[in-house]
Amino acid sequence: MRLTVAQAVVRFLANQWTERDGVRQRTIAGCLGIFGHGNVAGIGQALLQAQRAGRAGDDSVDLPYRLARNEQAMVHTAAGYARMKNRLSTLACTASIGPGSTNMLTGAALATVNRLPVLLLPSDSFATRVASPVLQELEDPRSGDVSVNDAFRPLSRFFDRVLRPEQLPSALISAMRVLTDPAETGAVTLCLPQDVQAEAYDFPDALFATRVWHVARPLAEPAFVQRAAEVIRNARRPLLIAGGGVVYSEASPELDQFALATGIPVADTQAGKGALSWDHPNSVGGVGATGTPVANRLAREADVVIGVGTRYSDFTTASRTAFQRPDVKFVNINVASFDAAKQSAYPIVADARAGLSGLLAALDGHRWPQDWQADVASWQATVEGAYRIGHGPLPSQAEVIGVVNDACGARDVVVQAAGSMPGDLQLLWRARDPKQYHVEYGYSCMGFEIAGALGIKLADPSREVFALVGDGSYLMMSQEIVTAVAEHVKLVVVLVQNHGFASIGALSESLGSQRFGTSYRYRGQDGDYDGAYLPVDLAANAESLGAQVIRCRTIADLAEGLKRAREADRLTVVHIETDPLSPVPSSESWWDVPVAEVSDLDSTRAARTGYENAKRDQRTYL
């Protein structure tokens, strides 16, 4: 079949399918893109041609296209989509040569850090070099084959540059192998030189046949399960930590069965929240630097920690201070051997669903006492108090979270990524469904929220999606409001304005840096940013982008505004100003951020003393 390279890419992607447990779906459900020189006559032409063929009834060649407004944001949209689809389906992203493509680098990093499949198709400079240097081409005097796209190499789980049409089949097959491997997945980058995109070649018809990628549920090695079960049977105070792998493998029923049968308390990570409902009798909430006091006390006392589908980030381990018993042991169930071996664990390399079922059978009816449930009830009373604190004159962020939590139905989704809200959400949010809580906290990327929410809604239009976004993230990346409006995608954006970076302000103060450079203010007479707040009207900005806007002053206004937003048929921004200094309950935990070892500032010296005291509790878990 004689096609251009770009046409062959689109036709191939349109015929890729993923299957798990008998359920089949498109591996690449569509393509997001912004066209410029480099891809407008290549991938752009191919997508147009495929769309016309699809309208004529040939679904085998059509790859649905959506126009994005920011290249980084469209990768976030693909990542949100992939997470919502349990990594079984994703979106491709195409961008023009130079800055259009490098704008996707941050998105690539986010996808790979979070183990989320996205397919990136950055345009590249001429393979023939016939007109070099072309507009926006990087010239490296040391090497003629380097382009800006080489920056994708360390950020991608698979990287290739297609310099000849003959190379395309192997590049595409390798890309799909990584995208559909739950242990290896992340960003996959195929660089496409702009002249090669337009070059024609006689591709074999077999390349475009329907191809189904079966996603297996790897079973654990029986000897490893028996060894881990023996460790757990000898435990007196076991604790299970549910990570994102539980959600991606759809293992919540197996986790529920495991918890009820054993009595073991279940804590969760940011990615694992919702794996068990917040009111499950074994749920003790988030663990680590932004976890609940109950979970963190159990972590300190645990002699065996069972990690299921977690990669043990520093927030989960409280920078390796969470687990304090000298004899603590770890058992890890993870589809990736890299993560299964962390913390010097007894590893079970397996799918979370299969691993939990196998481990439960091997425990042979062992059960542990549930002497912590009264503490959980007490903690939930504290959460209720934070939700209804009546803070004033401006409401607290905890109150805003409480109202949004109340407004969310069990199948609705809350989206967040950066600032102080991820910590407050893990501490306070009451998740009722494995897909209700979508906080991107692997890369914690400012600007993810609205773009990620768009991907989530595209993945499951039946759910209401609430994007909680602070003014810092909003100012960095709000452009996908325009995309959602253009595509008639209904989102609820809760825009929380606190005049700066609330999270970094609090962190700065705790480290002795006095909130320096963390407020959106005019410069004062002394030259610092301590003057009046800037007269920025973010609600008006959102309205100018096509959103319906509801301005709120009080918590009661917010509750009414969210009700109206749910009833609306288009994207609605609900705006409220909060007090950036309002407190939340303590997690009774710690996060390692180094403090200046010497300083002329009393505040910094005091913070350094506290830092050195906290570091004494760090462990190596060897």
- pLDDT tens digit string along 453-499? 999 999 999 999 999 999 889 999 999 999 999 999 999 999 998 87
Last residue of a domain, one of 197, 214, 231: 214
Task: Write the DSSP string, 521-560.
Answer: B---TTSSS-SSBP---HHHHHHHTT-EEEEESSHHHHHH
Q: Are residues 442 and 572 in the same domain?
A: yes
| Cα-Cα-Cα-Cα dihedral sign, residues 542, 545, 549, 555 | negative
Q: Are residues 84 and 176 in the same domain?
A: yes
Q: For residue 178, which of 167, 190, 168, 195 has the smallest C-alpha distance?
A: 190
CATH label of the domain that carries residue 337? 3.40.50.1220
Answer yes or no: is 545 within a domain: yes
Q: Are residues 205 and 229 in the same domain?
A: no
What DSSP character marks residue 500? B
Read off the pLDDT band of 502 (50, 70, 90): low
347, β-bridge pairs: 332
Total count of domains within the chain:
3
pLDDT tens-place string over residues 50-91: 999 888 777 677 899 999 999 999 999 999 999 999 999 999
Q: Are 281 and 373 in contact (CB under 8 A)?
A: yes
Higher pLDDT, 536 or 163: 163
Higher pLDDT, 55 or 439: 439
Cα–Cα dist 171/256, whole Å = 41
Q: Are residues 248 and 195 in the same domain?
A: no
Q: Are residues 87 and 136 in the same domain?
A: yes
Which tokens hold the place of 72? 């980084």
pLDDT tens-place string over residues 222-267: 999 999 999 999 999 999 999 999 999 999 999 999 999 999 999 9
What DSSP character marks residue 396? P
pLDDT tens-place string over residues 384-396: 999 998 888 899 9
Residue 134, judged by CB atoms within 10 A of its CB (0-12, 13-18, 19+), counts as: middle
Task: Write the DSSP string, 35-96.
Answer: --TTTTTTHHHHHHHHHHHHHTT-TTS---EEE-S-HHHHHHHHHHHHHHTTTS-EEEEEE-
Biggest distance spanned by C-alpha atoms of the chain = 74
Last residue of a domain, one of 340, 371, 402: 371
Which tokens hold the place of 258? 């495991």
Answer yes or no: is 514 within a domain: no
Place of tokens 């920011």: 70
Q: Are residues 66 and 207 in the same domain?
A: yes
Cα–Cα dist 205/593, whole Å = 56
Answer yes or no: is 518 within a domain: no
Q: Are residues 454 and 556 in the same domain?
A: yes
Q: Are residues 428 and 339 in the same domain?
A: no
Answer yes or no: is 322 within a domain: yes
CATH label of the domain that carries residue 165? 3.40.50.970
Answer yes or no: is 166 within a domain: yes
Q: Are residues 152 and 25 in the same domain?
A: yes
Q: What is the pLDDT of residue 519?
A: 77
| Cα-Cα-Cα-Cα dihedral sign, residues 515, 521, 523, 526 | negative
Q: Are 358 and 219 in contact (CB under 8 A)?
A: yes
Q: What percent of the chain has pLDDT over 90?
A: 81
Answer yes or no: is 604 within a domain: no
Q: Are residues 208 and 239 in the same domain?
A: no
Q: Are residues 563 and 454 in the same domain?
A: yes
Q: What is the pLDDT of residue 289?
A: 94
Last residue of a domain, one of 166, 190, 214: 214
Answer yes or no: is 506 within a domain: no
Alpha carbon distances (Å) from 189 to 122, 141, 280: 7, 24, 41
Answer yes or no: is 619 within a domain: no
Cα–Cα dist 579/582, whole Å = 6
Q: What is the pLDDT of residue 59?
A: 67
Q: Are residues 208 and 150 in the same domain?
A: yes
pLDDT tens-place string over residues 347-363: 999 999 999 999 999 99
Cα–Cα dist 116/604, whole Å = 39
Domain region containing 264: 222-371
